[in-house]
Amino acid sequence: MKMETYGALPTQDVLDRLARQRGLQDVTFTAVGYGLQQSFPDAASWKVQAQRVRMVAQPRLIQINTGFTGDFSVLLSNNANTGGTCFGDSGGPNFIGTSNVVGGVTSFGINGNCAGTGGVYRVDRADDLNWLYDTFGVDLRAVAP
Banded pLDDT at 107 (limits 50, 70, 90):
very high
CATH code at 56? 2.40.10.10
Give the SS3 label for residue 73. strand
Q: Look at residue 4 in the predicted model and tell me its pLDDT.
A: 78
Does 10 reside within a domain?
A: no
Banded pLDDT at 13 (limits 50, 70, 90):
very high
Does 98 reside within a domain?
A: yes
- Higher pLDDT pick, 77 / 124: 124
Q: 103 lies in which domain range?
A: 16-36+51-136
| Average pLDDT, rounded, for the chain | 80
Q: Look at residue 68 in the predicted model and tell me its pLDDT.
A: 92
Does 120 reside within a domain?
A: yes
Does 127 reside within a domain?
A: yes
- Neighbouring C-beta atoms of residue 64, cutoff 10 Å: 23
Number of separate domains in the chain:
1
Single-letter amino acid code for the residue at 95: F
Measured distance CA(77)–CA(59) in Å, rounded: 5
Single-letter amino acid code for the residue at 42: D
Does 129 reside within a domain?
A: yes
Give the SS3 label for residue 128. helix
Does 105 reside within a domain?
A: yes
pLDDT surpasses 70 at 139: no
Nearby residues of 58 by Cβ (< 8 Å), 6 or more positions away: 28, 29, 30, 31, 82, 83
Banded pLDDT at 24 (limits 50, 70, 90):
low
Does 126 reside within a domain?
A: yes
Does 76 reside within a domain?
A: yes
